[in-house]
Amino acid sequence: MTDQHDPRDELGILAPRKMKAKFDYLHREVQRAAGVRITRRQALGLGGLAVLAAACGPVTTAPKQNASPSASAADPLAGLPLENHLEIYNWSQYDDPSTYTLFKKLPDEAAAGLRIHETYYSSNDELLAKLGAGGTTYDIIVPSQNAVAELIEEQKLMKLDKAHLPNLINLDPSFLKPAYDPNGDYHVIKDFGITMFFYNNKIVTDQPSSMLEFYNLLTKYVGKGRTNLLDGAEEVVPLALMAIGIDPNTTSQGDFDKVKAFLLGLRKGVTTISSYGYINDAIAGKIILSQGWNGDVRRIIQGRAKQGDITGVIPTAASEIWADNWCILANAPHPVAAHAWINWILTPSTAVTEMLYHNYKIPMPAALDQVPASLKDDPMFNVPKTYTDNYHYILNVSPQVVQARTGIYTAFKAA
Amino acid sequence: MPRTARSFKPRYPAWLMSPSFLYYAMFFLGPMAILVVFSLSTQTGFGTIRFGFDTSQYRLVANALYLKIFQRTLLMAFLGSVLTIAVGYPVAYWMARHLSTYKMLALLLVVVPFWTSFLIRTYALKIILDPQGYLARDFGINIQYTKYAVGLGLVYNYLPLFILPVFASLERMDWTLIEAATDLGARPLTAFRQITLRLTLPGVVTGALLVFIPMTGEYIIPNILGGGKYEFVGNLIGDQFTEAQNQPFGSALAISLMVALSVFVIVYILFATKEERFGA
């Protein structure tokens, strides 16, 4: 995973190494404009630049030399060679190390001498800020659903060339066109999870089954121990909206007023609002009633196996479903390699390795059939579709909606 | 030939100041200017802004909800400072007046917690306040995730910042004045009130402001000890930047807090100059 210099790709131009990604991009642009395969040397030479200048110039009626219009629309990368580098910007420790090494050993990738360089971010905010600042040379990014929607709107993502992703057929079709990318043009789902809740069954004697019932029990049990909500305006407000039967992505002021009243009514029942540290506290037996993400709740229940006092509930009715996704940036210097990477991830055997590594579900039936029963039969990993059918993605609809949610969140905390 | 008047002014060239001036310009004035520019711009999208002269953000600050949070922050910082004085002054007095051999050791013990990360000290306090801990179980003091825990955290974390300047002014005080007062028949309490307290008052004000100002900007203590549901202005500003991605409003809130604090800084400057004039 180092940025190794490849002598076969010698440019013969004195330029900083950093420029390589930019030259690759230029090469691709020239090739796209020319419509034929040309070598880097040609592409970056005067002839190539002339082709590019012609393509950028006034609209010309002269037909493109080879690729037929329909083919180029459906498969814009047709005929382009596989690059020898891939730049990934990802969450840390989110993919099995063998996924990278095996990818580089695939015949085409090995022949191209492909190298992968990966850097990491720790939140979608960080990712968006970095992309917003510009000047990046990443190929692959892994945004969560709301960041995907934002990036599509800002036209920062490349429309995927499905001809380069034949393994897409392995995915559960119901995950191809979600609300955050209605045409499924810009993302491939990496894995997904849900927001559920858990309680200490020695203390909480009711048996809540929906998020609304969870909220209604907070005030009743807060005197007996710590209750917790997941933090953040984008969790607290949309989750409460769903509990009272409203679209989490609503833009209506009336809905905001309703959810604010609902939240302020249960404020006394909330001890903490925290999304980090609640796993350890719950395993230490300090939380009696709390929301949590499915991967975390699995860990908590495993951690309390000896006491057996934690019950996890996948809510009936509405709750949150979230997803992390593979996307390619519009200015990716190595689009062919990026597509090859995503296609490799979509191989069932790779998906099995990945799921065993990160323990989040990849919606790929052929892969799920191969994971061990202990994982496959655990509804907190393999969340049944009957539940997720009722769940919604929480999106950053507009700055106004996000501001309204933050206002409610602040009022809730300050109450 | 007239004798040249002897000047006591330092004979250093003014340009020697340039490194520190540059430092302040780049890392204090520069960011401050950026903050002002941001607070006057308009949000056009997520994390994107249009620069201009838009004062609407400042009008939003005057919302009842935000004013309540400003009020709460200032009140909590004020109470925290008063408690710090109540706890810190006797300690400083004891160290300065009654210790001789172990004076420096005591001073060291006051400073030592500062060598540990602020965050770790706050987490340590969280463990002490745990409902299953001794304090809650054996003494019935179960205040974790309440405003009392936040107050305790404020006093605990900032106490050394108060003790040090007060200790310094007590150290410099001329204790023979007290002897003279008692010789002239003053009761100990009267002597303390009329001499010690008056002479160390500038030190107390300095110490109190040294703790009051950072307390108003506190972010970590309310978050950790308040259970993430106790809002200080710092938390409000943080949410505007990270949750709402609304830099203009977050900047306007930050500037407003600075303006509110300037009042207290002016008080500080007045007292600080007074101290220089009379000495303590």
What tens digit of pLDDT does each residue of B224-278 get? 999 989 999 999 999 898 888 888 999 999 999 999 888 878 877 787 666 555 5
User: Rounded to a whole number, what is the distance in Å from the CA of A156 to chain B's nearest CA?
Assistant: 14
User: Rounded to a whole number, what is the distance in Å from the CA of A317 to chain B's nearest CA?
Assistant: 27
User: How far is residue A113's CA from residue B39's CA, in Å, rounded to a whole number?
Assistant: 50
Find out whether B233 and B74 touch, Cβ atoms under 8 Å: no
B65 interface with A at CB cutoff 8 Å = yes
User: How far is residue B34's CA from residue B255's CA, in Å, rounded to a whole number?
Assistant: 11
List own/partner pairs for B41-48 with CB under 8 A and 24 or more apart: B41/B247, B41/B248, B42/B248, B43/A399, B43/B246, B43/B247, B43/B248, B43/B249, B45/A154, B45/A399, B46/A128, B46/A150, B46/A396, B46/A399, B46/A402, B46/B245, B47/A128, B47/A129, B47/A132, B47/B245, B47/B247, B48/A132
User: Rounded to a whole number, what is the distance in Å from the CA of A150 to chain B's nearest CA?
Assistant: 8
Residues with Cβ within 8 Å of A352's Cβ and at least 6 positions away in sequence, in order, are A367, A370, A371
Structure-token pair, residue A257: 């007023």
Interface contact A233-B130, CB threshold 8 A? no
Structure-token pair, residue B214: 């950072």
B238: enclosing H helix or E strand = helix B233-242
The residue in chain A having the minimum alpha-carbon distance to the alpha carbon of residue B45 is: A399
> Collapsing DSSP states into helix, strand and coil, what is residue A342?
helix
Find out whether A404 and A256 touch, Cβ atoms under 8 Å: yes
Find out whether A339 and A161 touch, Cβ atoms under 8 Å: yes
Q: How far is CA A214 from CA A97, A194, A197, A297, in A?
A: 39, 16, 8, 15
Residues with Cβ within 8 Å of A351's Cβ and at least 6 positions away in sequence, in order, are A170, A345, A362, A364, A367
Mean pLDDT over each residue of chain A, to the nearest integer: 86
Alpha helices in A134-273 (DSSP H): 145-153, 211-221, 233-243, 253-266
User: How far is residue A199's CA from residue A290's CA, in Å, rounded to a whole number?
Assistant: 6
Tell me what the mean pLDDT of segment A291-312 comes to: 94
Beta bridge partners of A312: A198
Considering only CA atoms, which of B181, B174, B164 is closest in space to residue B199? B174
Minimum mean pLDDT range among A41-50, A160-169, B18-27, B133-142: A41-50
User: How far is residue B209's CA from residue B201's CA, in Å, rounded to a whole number?
Assistant: 12
Interface contact A150-B132, CB threshold 8 A? no
Beta bridge partners of B271: none
B62: enclosing H helix or E strand = none
**Largest interatomic CA distance in chain B:** 87
B252 interface with A at CB cutoff 8 Å = no
Find out whether B76 and B279 touch, Cβ atoms under 8 Å: no
Q: Where are the domains of chain A?
A: 1-64, 86-186+323-385, 192-320+391-414
Minimum mean pLDDT range among A120-129, A270-279, B4-13, B66-75: B4-13
Tell me what the mean pLDDT of segment A93-101 comes to: 94
pLDDT at A66 over 80: no
Contacts of A278 in chain B (CB under 8 A): none
Residues with Cβ within 8 Å of A374's Cβ and at least 6 positions away in sequence, in order, are none
Q: What is the CA radius of gyration of chain B?
A: 24
pLDDT single digits (tens) A349-373: 999 999 999 889 999 999 999 999 9
Interface contact A399-B236, CB threshold 8 A? no
Q: Which of B43, B228, B242 sits opposite A399 (nearest CB)?
A: B43
Q: Which of B229, B240, B246 sits opposite A413 (nearest CB)?
A: B229
Amino acid (one-letter) located at A125: D
Considering only CA atoms, which of B144, B157, B162 is closest in space to residue B92? B162
User: How far is residue A130's CA from residue B247's CA, in Å, rounded to a whole number?
Assistant: 16
pLDDT band at A21 (very low <50, low <70, confident <90, very high): low
Find out whether A274 and B227 touch, Cβ atoms under 8 Å: yes
Minimum mean pLDDT range among A20-34, A56-70, A331-345: A56-70
pLDDT at A7 over 80: no
Residues with Cβ within 8 Å of B81's Cβ and at least 6 positions away in sequence, in order, are B208, B211, B212, B215
Tell me what the mean pLDDT of segment A259-275 comes to: 95
Q: Residues in chain A, how many?
A: 415
Residue to substitute from A150, A287, A406, A412, interface B, most B β-carbons within 10 A:
A406
Q: How far is CA B207 from CA B53, B166, B204, B278, in A?
A: 38, 6, 5, 18
User: How far is residue B151's CA from residue B21's CA, in Å, rounded to a whole number?
Assistant: 37
- Percentage helix, strand, coil, to 5, in chain A? 45, 15, 40
Same fold, A86-186+323-385 and A192-320+391-414: yes
The residue in chain B having the minimum alpha-carbon distance to the alpha carbon of residue A278 is: B227
Amino acid (one-letter) located at B3: R
Q: What's the topology of domain B74-231+262-278? A: MetI-like fold (1.10.3720)
Residues with Cβ within 8 Å of A216's Cβ and at least 6 positions away in sequence, in order, are A208, A266
Tell me what the mean pLDDT of segment B190-210 comes to: 91
Task: Give the pLDDT confidence score for residue A11 in this predicted structure.
Answer: 41
User: Rounded to a whole number, what is the distance in Å from the CA of B130 to chain A's nearest CA?
Assistant: 9
Interface contact B69-A226, CB threshold 8 A? no
Residue to substitute from B229, B237, B247, interface A, most A β-carbons within 10 A:
B229
Mean pLDDT over each residue of chain B, to the nearest integer: 89
Considering only CA atoms, which of A122, A121, A163 is closest in space to residue A138? A121
Task: Give the pLDDT confidence score for residue A33 in this predicted structure.
Answer: 52
Phi and psi, residue A357, nearest 5°: -80, -50
Q: What's the topology of domain A192-320+391-414? A: D-Maltodextrin-Binding Protein; domain 2 (3.40.190)
The residue in chain A having the minimum alpha-carbon distance to the alpha carbon of residue B241 is: A125
Considering only CA atoms, which of A14, A335, A12 is closest in space to residue A163? A335
Q: How far is CA A396 from CA A153, A195, A234, A285, A400, in A?
A: 11, 17, 8, 34, 9
Residue to substitute from A126, A267, A273, interface B, most B β-carbons within 10 A:
A273
User: How far is residue B61's CA from residue B30's CA, in Å, rounded to a whole number?
Assistant: 24
> Collapsing DSSP states into helix, strand and coil, what is residue B57?
helix
Find out whether A309 and A236 touch, Cβ atoms under 8 Å: no
Task: Quote the CATH superfamily of domain A86-186+323-385.
Answer: Periplasmic binding protein-like II (3.40.190.10)
User: Rounded to a whole number, what is the distance in Å from the CA of A126 to chain B's nearest CA?
Assistant: 10
Q: Which of A270, A399, A409 sits opposite B239 (nearest CB)?
A: A409
The residue in chain A having the minimum alpha-carbon distance to the alpha carbon of residue B143 is: A271
Interface contact A413-B245, CB threshold 8 A? no
Residue for token pair 């927001």: A195
Work out the number of other CB atoms within 10 angstroms of the CB of residue A220. 13
Phi and psi, residue A400, nearest 5°: -65, -45
User: Rounded to a whole number, what is the distance in Å from the CA of B72 to chain A's nearest CA?
Assistant: 9
Residue for token pair 């001329």: B174
Minimum mean pLDDT range among A51-55, A387-391, B115-119, B128-132: A51-55
Interface contact A271-B230, CB threshold 8 A? no
Task: Give the pLDDT confidence score for residue A79 in this predicted structure.
Answer: 84
Q: Which of B132, B227, B244 sits opposite A273 (nearest CB)?
A: B227
Work out the number of other CB atoms within 10 angstroms of the CB of residue B207. 28
Q: Is the dihedral of CA A68, A73, A74, A80 positive or negative?
A: positive
Considering only CA atoms, which of A414, A269, A227, A274 is closest in space to residue B76? A414
pLDDT at A40 over 50: no
Work out the number of other CB atoms within 10 angstroms of the CB of residue A81. 16
Interface contact A414-B245, CB threshold 8 A? no
Beta bridge partners of A194: A321
Find out whether B210 and B161 touch, Cβ atoms under 8 Å: yes
Considering only CA atoms, which of A399, A251, A410, A236 is closest in space to residue B64? A410
pLDDT single digits (tens) A160-218: 999 999 999 999 999 999 999 999 999 999 999 999 999 999 999 999 999 999 999 99
The residue in chain A having the minimum alpha-carbon distance to the alpha carbon of residue B44 is: A399
